[in-house]
Structure 1
Amino acid sequence: MIGNLSGGEILLLVLAALVILGPARLPEYAAKLARGVRWVRDLAEGAKGQLKDELGPGFEEIDWRQLDPRQYDPRRIVREALSTPAEGGAAPGTEKPATRMAAVPGASSATARRGVVHDPTRATPYDTDAT
């Protein structure tokens, strides 16, 4: 990455290229490098334009910094998860007991979303459609 190089390191790379390639071939390779950089930039702009077309007007509202994976600290995420009380942040002892519904063989997934809580002491129902 050029962003991580200091001025002295860039000068050293230029001098090394001059020695390795020689003064006769250096302009030719510099032009090739410039064309390659332009091609990559055009490729990135095309991908950005295609993404903007596919996402529509909501593309401008996306906060890209929020999606940057470098901002996530696994230790902080685990610490916050362990310090947050269960059941959506309710204080201990104030949460409502979960409603338990009888698991019916062949019940749809909509039934599960309506409050069926997994009970490890009950046998898992056999689903003939899943096999």
Structure 2
Amino acid sequence: MFSDVGVLELATLVVLALVLYGPDKLPEAIRTVSAVVRKFREFSENAKQEVRDGLGPEFEDFEFEDLNPRTFVRKHVLDGDGAGLEEIRKALDPRPELDEAVGALRRAAEGGTAPGSRSGADAVSLVKGEDGPAAGRPPVDPDAT
């Protein structure tokens, strides 16, 4: 519960409690605080048990810690049950499709035909200077206006 409280903070709390309550009332204050914490834990456990009972027998192994999003992801995605993290990364990785497209462009630039490309007289060269428009004049598209 107090795993992140250091020694200096704990010593400061003890000194502050001694100053506020004094050495004669401090044990009674500690007993009161511990009783409140105990009652709060008991109340929360009873509430959890009532929710489990209300859900029915099919949720006997239900844990409230599983409702935490981090725990849910760790349990269902990272454990290997169903689709693992590696499969998700492979499914979302765009590199195979990009490599295929770059390969098709390279083949077309080298003179080979890419899938779905034009062949013969309709083929367009990707090499600069070959069969291009006259130097200095851009191509005119009469349908553009």
Q: TM-score, normalised by structure 2?
A: 0.43
